[in-house]
């Protein structure tokens, strides 16, 4: 396994990915962090964001909605509340979700409703961005 690191992405429902990769970039709660083979031990919480991983000179993308990442020199385990591969995201549905979330946010309401609308918009924009990026790079 020289030069590779095992990436596993797990959600409460299933093991979404288990693959040897060259590099991982994850959305840590304090900012993005990168992992290469031989990385020191690390435990980080994750925010809503994009997980990128490189395999054989090609980048692949996933949406991550909260969770934790455990890093060892030979493995990255991502335990996410929700995770989705770019190729599984429908760009049209993602665009509709962005528009609906924007409408909810404009409608206003109680502070809790506004916060929920902001989170919905952030998630929808992330999904659309990842789906668009994968489509442009030919991985969708």
Query: What pLDDT score does 106 carry?
Result: 83
Residues forming beta bridges with residue 84, ordered by sequence position:
63
CB 77 within 8 A of CB 70: yes
- pTM, whole model, 2 decimals? 0.81
Query: Which of these ranges, 9-18, 38-47, 81-90, 110-119, has the smallest mean pLDDT?
Result: 110-119
- Our measurement of the distance from residue 136's CA atom to the centroid of its chain's CA atoms, rounded to an integer in Å, reads 18
CB 7 within 8 A of CB 76: yes
Per-residue pLDDT at 137 exceeds 70: no
Q: What is the pLDDT of residues 65-74, one digit of tens each?
A: 999 999 999 9
- Among 78, 3, 75, 73, which Cα is nearest to 39's? 73
Number of H helices, E strands in the chain: 2, 8
Going by C-beta distance under 8 Å and a sequence separation of 6 or more, which residues neighbour residue 97?
120, 123, 124, 127, 128
| C-alpha distance from residue 35 to each of 25, 27, 55, 66, 69 (Å) | 6, 12, 13, 18, 11
Per-residue pLDDT at 61 exceeds 90: yes
């Amino acid at each position: 396994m020289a030069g590779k690191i095992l990436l596993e992405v797990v959600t409460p429902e299933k093991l979404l990915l288990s693959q040897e990769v060259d590099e991982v970039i994850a959305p840590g709660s304090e900012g993005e962090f990168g992992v290469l083979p031989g990385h020191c031990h690390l435990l980080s919480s994750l925010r809503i964001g994009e997980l990128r991983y490189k395999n054989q000179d090609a980048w692949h993308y996933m949406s991550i909605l909260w969770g934790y990442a455990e890093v060892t020199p030979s493995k990255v385990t991502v335990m996410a509340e929700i995770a989705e591969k770019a190729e599984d995201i429908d760009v049209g549905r993602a665009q509709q979700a962005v528009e609906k979330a924007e409408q909810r946010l404009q409608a206003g309401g109680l502070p809790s409703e506004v916060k929920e609308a902001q989170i919905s918009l952030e998630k929808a924009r992330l999904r659309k961005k990842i789906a668009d990026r994968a489509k442009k790079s030919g991985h969708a």
